[in-house]
Structures are given as C-alpha cells and as structure tokens.
Amino acid sequence: MKIVIKNGTLLSMDEKRPQIEYNTDILIDKDTIVKIGKEIEITNIDKVIDATGKVVLPGLINTHAHVPMSIFRETIDGLKLQEWLEDKIWPMEAKLVDDDIYYASLLSFIEMIKTGCTTINDMYFMADSIIKARDVAGIRLQTTRTLMSINGREDSLKRLEELKELIKRYDSYEDTLSFNVGIHGLYTSDEKYVKECIKLSKELKLPVHMHFCENTKEVTDIESSYGRKPSQVLLDNFKNVHTILAHSVKLDNDDIEKLKDLDIHVSTCPISNLKLGCGVPKIAKMVESGINVSLGTDGQGSGSNLDMFEVMKFTALLQKGIEEDPTLMTSYDVLKMATINGAKALCMEDKIGSVTEGKKADIIILDVDNILLKPTNDLISEIVYNAKGSNVDTTIVNGKILMEKKELNLNIDEKIRVKKCEEIIQRIKI
Amino acid sequence: MKIVIKNGTLLSMDEKRPQIEYNTDILIDKDTIVKIGKEIEITNIDKVIDATGKVVLPGLINTHAHVPMSIFRETIDGLKLQEWLEDKIWPMEAKLVDDDIYYASLLSFIEMIKTGCTTINDMYFMADSIIKARDVAGIRLQTTRTLMSINGREDSLKRLEELKELIKRYDSYEDTLSFNVGIHGLYTSDEKYVKECIKLSKELKLPVHMHFCENTKEVTDIESSYGRKPSQVLLDNFKNVHTILAHSVKLDNDDIEKLKDLDIHVSTCPISNLKLGCGVPKIAKMVESGINVSLGTDGQGSGSNLDMFEVMKFTALLQKGIEEDPTLMTSYDVLKMATINGAKALCMEDKIGSVTEGKKADIIILDVDNILLKPTNDLISEIVYNAKGSNVDTTIVNGKILMEKKELNLNIDEKIRVKKCEEIIQRIKI
C-alpha cells in the first residue's frame, strides 16, 4: 500500500533536517518512508492523508513499561510501596492466566495508539499472550521474559531457558517484534546470575533491560548483597553491554561521571518515580555527561497511563524546577528523548525514531487546530508542554494506519475489551 | 430556569455527605442548587441532563492566575526568568490596549469552560476589559487592580484609587463578580504601602491576594528591603487579614510553623513554579499544619494552560516524590484543594466549592466512559491522576449551562477569537 501524507508541518527529529518543515509531504510504500519533500506527485497512491494545519512526528517511543499492568491502574492511593506490592499487586499477579495477560495488554496497546505511542519496551511474563495482543493491535514491541534469581537456582535457570525458547519461537517473525534480555534488577539477581544473563545478551546480540537504582531501599539492598555501590557493580560487569537502565533515580553526580562511558541508556519514568515516592533523577546532569536518556511510563499501576506527552512535560519541568534553572531541558531536547533517543536505547535507530527516508513508517499526526493550544508562539514547546494524547489524530505503525481522525482502524470492540478487563480485576482483586 | 442533572455519580466535596454517591439527581432552580437526592421528580423542569455513567463535581476553582496571559503561552523556552520578563513579557505588556485584554481574556475563559474550571482569581490590569470578557463567557471571576509601589508615590496611590473606583463601579453588579486587594508582592511594595493596602482590605472587607516567596531572589530582595525574613513581615502586618498567598515556594518548616495561625490561604502553582525554576513548596507540611491550600495555574506564560486537572496531578505527585513518601496527599485531599479549599481561599465557601443544597450551581460533569480511564479501580484517584480537561462534558456556572456535551453554548466563534489573539501577538511581539 502506498500512502502519502500531504502538506503537514513536519518535525522529523532527523538531525540532518531542519527542526520544523512546513507544507511537507511524506510518501510511504508498504512499511517504509520512501520520500519526503514538497508537493510529491500523488499518482498511483492508495491513500492520501491531508495533514494541512496538522503536525507530523515520528511515533513516540516508550522505553520502560509493563504492558499488562493496565488493569492495576489507580490501586495505590495512600499505600506504601511494599504494602502495595506485597498486599495487592503480587497476590493479584499470582492469579493471572494467559487470557488475562492478553486482554490487559490489548487495553494498553489501544491506549498507546490513541496517545501516539508506536513502540513500547515491555518487561513482564507470559510474553506469548502479550505478543498475541500485539499482533491484533499492530504496535511495535520489544519484550522479554523477566530474569531474576531470588527463587533459587532451578527457577533462575528455567527463566533463562524460557527466554531463549521465547526468542527462538519468534525467530524470523514480524519485523515489528524484537527482544531484549530483561534482568529484573541487581537486587533480585546475584552476581553470578547477572553474568550469565549478560553472556546471553552477548550471544544473542540483544540489549539488556534492567531496573536500576529506583529508590533508596534498592540501593542499600544492592550494597548489602554485592558489598559495593550499584554503580561499581555496573562498572565491573556491564562494559560494552548495551543496557537500558530504567529509572536510575538514585545516581549522584559521582556515579554519573563514572558510568558515562558505559553503553548505558537511561529510561526515565518521572511520573512513576514521583508516585512511588522515589524522588527525581539527575536527568539534566546525565544529558550533560553524554548519556542517552529516553522516556518511559512504567506500568499503569504506578504511572497511571501510557501517555508519553505527560512524561515529556514532567521530565522537562522537574529538571528545571529541582535544579532551579529554567534554561535546562529545551523542548526540542525533550522531544528527542521521546523519539530518536528511545530508538537508540532499543537498538532501533536505523529503523525508527525519526521521519527519515528509508526508515520504517512509524508516524503520528497531531491535530493542533484547537483553541487550547492557541496562539502558538513556539510549536515545539506547545507540543511538549501543552499537547496531550488526545491531540493525536492519526497513528501509523510500520506503514499501517492504526488510527485515523481519532477512529481506531482495528477490528475490535473497545467496550468489550474494557468489560473483559473489568471482569479480570473483579476476579483477582484482594 | 429549572435544570435537573439525572442519575450521575456525585462527588459533592461536601464533608457532610459521602465521598461518592451513585445514581444521584441534582435539582437547580435559577442560579441555586435546591435539591440533591435519588429520583427527583422531573415535572415542570426546563432541562434534563442525563448524567448516567458520568461523574458530577463542583466546578474547579483556580485561585491564582493572570487571565489575559493566554497570548504569552510558550514564550519562555530556554530563557532565564529575568530575561523572559525584561526582554519579552514587560515590553509586550506595555503595548497592550483594552481590546487586547478583552480578547486575550476571552480565550482564557473559553479554556476554563472547556476544562471544567468555573471560578478564577485574577491579578492583572485593565480589569474592565477582563470583566467585559467575563460577562460574555459567564465565568465566576474574582479580580483586582494590581497594587505596587515601585513606580513612586504618585503611581502607587493612583493604583489604590483605581482599585477603589473599580470596586465602586461594579457595586451591586452580578453575583458572579467579586474583588480582592491585589498586592503584587512584598518585593514590589514598601511596608508603608503594604499597610495602606491592608487598611483598604479591612475597610472593604475583602481578602488580600499577593505573590509570596516564589523564588530565592524574591526572598533575598525582601530581606534586603525589609530587614527581616518574609515570614516575619507577614507576622508583623497580616494578623487577622484574610490573605491568599500565591506560590509560597520558599517557606521552610520554621516559617510554616510561625505562619500557621495567620488567616493565610496558600495558592500553589506547581507547574509554573517548576517551569520558572523556582522549586517545590512544602505543601504536605502546610496541610499538616492546618494551612488552607488551594490550587492555581498562574498565567499561561509560565503555566502553559489553565487545566486544573494537570495542577491536581502535579501537586499530588510532587509532594510524594520530593518527600519520598507515597502516602502523602491522598486523591481526595487533592480534589478538595481544587474545589472547597479554593472557595475558602476566595471567601466564597458559603456559595461555591461543593455541590450542596443552597449553594450556587457551579457544576461540572465528566465523561469517564473512556478506555483511557479503564478499568476504574478507584474513581477519585482516576480523576486526580488520569482525567484530563478533555474529559469535561458539561460546565455549569451560576445555573447557566456554558458547555454541554463538549459544545460551547456561547454565541461566539472560537476561530475568530483565536485569530484576534494571533493578530495581537503578531502586533506586540518583540
């Protein structure tokens, strides 16, 4: 299928192009962006999307989430983290079956399509059901089988084996599915096991995805079991390992200096970090040190939703406020975090993250003809600070139009999906 | 006109009622809520609003804003506060004429109606034009003429005189308009003048509205001109003066302890405070000390928009995150800040702030039948953390339906309003 997006205002996020290009057309052939230019000829085109007055962007990339956690939205009010996990989430998760994971994942994927996020990096379990939901929704997914060694040697080796089998099972599968080696965290894996996981990531040439320094308790737990600082554990084990580090809230300036030359990619999840009482990471310092920073929502249990526009706004504002410097974090830098930086984190920058000829057609179109966004004094700031998921008009993944004019193109009944998830939560709730 | 809102889920925010009441009707006669109950008889009713599956709330109250600043949205990216003010905002403001203020204010009032905010506390100049726009939009407004003494004695006394005349001019005007004594700040008024302003507030029995301790520079400026801490200046001058203190970012625990017995009402503007690099106020500590805290957006120049749902989310999350305690700030407490606490701050709790028989009919209805808000595990948390201005379906102020099913009932063309504001910013921009 050949699609042309006509006459949009393009924020390509391609550093070789201008930041903003007006009246620009984009030609998509099958899954690929083949041409970007003015007044592209529209003969032999299957579909013309008129983007006049609209803003065209690469699809947003969520680099840390737990896809099936849609069903645990708003279950934490007034609770401490351990109470929430031990008394609510873990007992409920223990009751989940494959079908639950499928329906809960589908809810998250619909949420992504509606809010302009085209790629998600997931860490959970029962990945086959998540992938099954993904196949229906059409989202670009990187997933894993979560690895940890706290349940004994047999369980931890079984997890590694399951991950290997999972990856093998989907070998030569659709291009929109990829995997990483998901280590739950240093505090839930011993060093021997971490080394085994890293070995696997090297064998398979896949990135590692790991929770890291999310809160003070995690840091002290790691220090007590590893006998040294978490940053030192990274230095000792993760050299030349492409690693997506979720959170990294508790890294101080000294840690950042030490770690900056590793191949680490921080996925900051500011909303979840605040809600769980973790704190605010030193993102501006990381950026200054040259560390690649991208954005994540975390699961909806702590992050409330998968709306990447909210994550952009929180990321930008928190750094300015906490560091008491309004010049930090320009809007363009934050938009990069939500797009091309995310692609780099997931080892996908040759495929996605910018609207570039030759890349896959993961594109969103925003309707900014809205009095709430006017007058527009600075388009990029308007998108970072004032646009919402609800301004997304059209979502295209791998050349497929998943939503157009705010209407889902999927052959699914949203109300039935919601009802299914309501039934799940009724069944499993504590 | 008699209106009945049928069968909604009511969050009345009235402490004498349950937090959530299902299948509840509300009868409005002219401007007043006359009855709340189950299955109210609907004979002789002019208008029935079916709220089945929807959530009914008191209209949200914004206790600190600068209404005409809609036109300055997103003009600050990458700038320091003083650069922004001195090189951009002040030169642009100097060019504003009455008509500009009218059109810019109308834009803000439309924004309020669309995002469920029914009352706003404004501090700016050319109040007649703001009031003229308010008369068209139907919003409940508290306003002032900003008082300061930095331009010499003649100017400062003229400002006081203009405020008195303004209030007199609208004596016995509509009930939806009220005034306060707007002192710009201690750093822009000397102590003698502050005392004169307070004297006027006592004579007129009106609250004072003042910027206070927004950032570090303001604190040091006050210390150098008053020779003592800002909190001490308050203690010395503001006893028994009902005072709305905008921001209060730089109050420490000691200040809060000292000030808690004054009649102060803090209006926290978290989004603006972050964007301007001011920091995060100790809101949880203020609440614990019994200080009434309500919510504000500040002007759109620093706050981006007037969406009170965003302000609720930021307020709740920042305190949990900064204090590293997720049990702080329950959702219900935050919803109180956006409603009844705001009414208390503006000396209006006998009129608005809750859905209560005898109070004025300022009511909003939220459409929560949206996959992005599902499944709903905790309705109040869902509203605070996940609902958006765009979920507002109906907005009623003083018994008048200003928006129904997301359609404005005003006889104005939004596109023309936007164009007017775009012309203004083109004309005045630096």
Rounded distance between C-alpha atoms, residue B284 and residue B246, angstroms: 16
CATH 3.20.20.140 in chain A: give the residue spans: 68-345
Interface check for A276 against chain B (CB to CB < 8 A): the answer is yes
- Using an 8 Å CB-CB cutoff, list chain B residues near A425: 375, 377
Mean pLDDT value across residues A204-212: 98
Phi then psi for residue B142, to 5 deg, are -115, 130
pLDDT one-digit tens code per residue, A348-385: 999 999 999 999 999 999 999 999 999 999 999 999 99
Contact flag B80-A327 (C-beta cutoff 8 Å): yes
CA–CA distance, A339 with A312 (Å, rounded to integer): 11
Q: Please tell me what DSSP assigns to residue B227.
A: S
CATH topology of domain B2-58+361-408: Urease, subunit C; domain 1 (2.30.40)
Residue B412 pLDDT level (bands cut at 50, 70, 90): confident
Q: Is the pLDDT of residue B43 over 90?
A: no
- The dihedrals phi and psi of A151, each to the nearest 5 degrees, come to -105, 25
Residue A107 confidence (pLDDT): 96
Is the pLDDT score of B302 beyond 90? yes
- Report helix angle A230-237 to A216-226, nearest 10: 60
SS3 A226: helix
Contact A76 B115 (CB under 8 A): no
Segment A65-81 shows an average pLDDT of 93
Q: What is the mean pLDDT of residues B56-61?
A: 98
Interface of A with B in 103-162 (CB under 8 A): 107, 110-111, 114-115
Indicate the residue of A321, A331, A388 with minimum beta-carbon distance to B390.
Answer: A388
* Contact (CB, 8 A) for A180 and A217: no
Rounded to the nearest integer, the mean pLDDT of chain B is 96
Chain A closest CA to B111's CA: distance in Å? 6
Domain with CATH 2.30.40.10 in chain B: 2-58+361-408
Q: A181-192, pLDDT tens digit by residue?
A: 999 999 999 999
All CATH 2.30.40.10 domain ranges of chain A, comma separated, are 2-59+360-408
pLDDT band with cut points at 50, 70 and 90 for residue B96:
very high
Mean pLDDT along residues A220-242: 98
Interchain contact A72–B (C-beta under 8 A): yes
Is 3.20.20.140 the CATH classification of the domain at A68-345? yes
At residue A414, does pLDDT exceed 90?
no
Q: What is the pLDDT of residue B415?
A: 86
C-alpha span between B212 and B234 (Å, rounded): 10
- Cβ of B96 under 8 Å from any chain A Cβ? no
Query: Inter-chain contact A371–B114, Cβ cutoff 8 Å?
Result: yes
Residue A205 has pLDDT above 90, yes or no: yes
Rounded to a whole number of angstroms, the distance from the CA of B330 to the nearest CA of chain A is 6
Higher pLDDT, B122 or A414: B122
Evaluate the omega torsion of the peptide bond into residue A270 and state whether it is cis, within 30 degrees of 0: no
Q: What digits encode the pLDDT tens for the residues B256-300?
A: 999 999 999 999 999 999 999 999 999 999 999 999 999 999 999
What is the spatial distance between Cα B98 and Cα A53, in angstroms, rounded to a whole number? 31
Burial (CB < 10 A; 0-12, 13-18, 19+), residue A243, is: buried
Q: What digits encode the pLDDT tens for the residues B318-372?
A: 999 999 999 999 999 999 999 999 999 999 999 999 999 999 999 999 999 999 9
Cβ A42 vs Cβ B287: under 8 Å? no
**What values do phi and psi take at B359, rounded to 5?**
-85, 165
Q: How wide is the angle at C-alpha B202 spanned by C-alphas B196 and B205, nearest 5°?
A: 140
Which alpha helices (DSSP H) does B138-190 contain, by range? 153-169
Nearest CA in chain B to A107: B371
Q: Say what the pLDDT of residue A284 is.
A: 97
- Using a CB-CB cut-off of 8 Å, the residues of chain A touching B414 are 371
Per residue in A217-226, pLDDT (tens digit) is: 999 999 999 9
What is the average per-residue pLDDT within A19-23?
A: 98
| pLDDT of A249 strictly over 90 | yes
How much is the pLDDT for B417?
Answer: 86
Question: Considering Cα of B334, then B378, then A301, then A316, what sign does the dihedral take?
Answer: negative
Residue B137: C-alpha distances to residues A423, B102, B212, B325, B402 (Å): 43, 11, 30, 41, 8
Strands (E) in B97-190, as ranges, are 117-122, 140-143, 177-179, 181-185
CATH 3.20.20.140 domain span(s) along chain B: 60-345
Instruction: Measure the CA–CA gap between A19 and A11, rounded to whole angstroms.
Output: 6
Quick one: average pLDDT of A321-329? 96
Question: What b-and-e string marks burial along A376-401, b requiring 16 or more CB atoms within 10 Å of the CB?
Answer: bbbbbbbbbbbbbbbbbbbbbbbbbb
Does position B73 have pLDDT exceeding 90, yes or no? yes
Cβ contacts of A388 within 8 Å, gap of 6 or more: A307, A309, A310, B388, B390
Straight-line distance from the first to the last Cα atom of chain A, in angstroms, rounded to the nearest whole number:
48
In this structure, which long-range contacts are made by residues B84-89, counting pairs with CB atoms below 8 Å and at least 24 apart in sequence? B84/A326, B84/B301, B87/B430, B88/B430, B89/B301
pLDDT at A113: 98
* Calpha distance B247→B298 (Å, rounded): 9
A76 and B326 within 8 Å at the Cβ level: the answer is yes
Whether residue A381 lies within 8 A of chain B, CB to CB, comes out as yes
Predicted pLDDT at A41? 87
Lowest mean pLDDT among A4-8, A80-84, B191-195, B242-246: A80-84
Interface touch B278/A321, C-beta < 8 Å:
yes
Mean of pLDDT over chain A: 96
Asked if A303 contacts A273 with a C-beta cutoff of 8 angstroms, the reply is no
Between CA B109 and CA B130 the distance in angstroms is: 10
Indicate yes or no: CB of A275 within 8 angstroms of CB of B417: no
In this predicted structure, which of A78-87, A149-158, A204-213, B169-178 has the lowest mean pLDDT? A78-87
Please tell me the CATH code under which domain B60-345 is placed.
3.20.20.140
More confident residue, A174 or B30: B30
C-alpha A132/C-alpha A134 separation (Å) is: 5
Neighbours of B428 (CB within 10 A): 17
CATH for A2-59+360-408, options being 3.90.45.10, 2.30.40.10, 2.60.120.860, 3.40.50.2300: 2.30.40.10
- How far is it, in rounded angstroms, from Cα B393 to Cα B407? 8
The fraction of chain A above a pLDDT of 70, given in percent, is: 100
For A72-96, what is the mean pLDDT? 91
- CA dist A249 and A203 (Å) reads 30
* Residue-wise burial string across A42-80, b where 16 or more C-beta atoms lie within 10 A, e elsewhere: eeebeeebebeebbbbbbbbbbbbbbbbbbbbbbbbbee
The predicted structure's pLDDT at residue B414: 85
**pLDDT digit string (tens) for B142-200?**
999 999 999 999 999 999 999 999 999 999 888 899 999 999 999 999 999 999 999 99
Question: Which DSSP letter does residue B354 get?
Answer: S
> Please, which pLDDT band fits residue B80 given cuts at 50, 70 and 90?
confident
* pLDDT the model gives residue A338: 98
Q: What is the mean pLDDT of residues B8-35?
A: 98
